[in-house]
Structure 1
């Protein structure tokens, strides 16, 4: 069972097999009525996804703040990180 989709019924029936495959690095999306409802992935991957999501959210907040209207350049590294 490579990375892919499985139904909830199949996931229930084959959970031990799926768990072994995820342990080996597979990522499995579980569906119900054809719609994704859960993702089974290695534990260390979920931490990376969380870190990535946090970084993305922070970047979007900084972009939304923008630069002041009277900005004339001259931003240094410390100034950028102080926002």
Structure 2
């Protein structure tokens, strides 16, 4: 199916169509479309808009991690962390 001149719909697109019309699909996804790519009639991937809130969560986690790292290890730490200590946190 050719999508030239019209927006690609949400729904299924074959891998061959996705390969041929990838730039068009990216423009449509930027506009909010969600496209499932199929191979041999079976869904194999979903192309969807990036979630802006996910980036906020990552930057928040990064800030917390950097704050913890800047504090360093407590005074008197002599090493000896074992596997159970690591997984108990």
TM range (shorter): 0.5 to 0.7
Deviation at 1:5, TM superposition (A): 0.3
Write 1 or 2 for the structure with the bigger share of helix: 1
Which of 24, 29, 37 is equivalent to 1:22?
A: 29
- Structure 1 consecutive aligned stretches of length 4 or more whose deviation exceeds 3 Å: none
The answer to whether residue 14 in structure 2 is matched with residue 10 in structure 1 is no
The match for 2:42 is: 35
**Mapping of residues 66-77 of structure 1, within 5 Å:** none
Give the alignment's Cα RMSD to 1 decimal: 1.7
Instruction: Please report the TM-score for the alignment, with normalisation by the length of structure 2.
Output: 0.50
Residue ranges of structure 1 left out of the alignment (5+ in a row) = 48-83
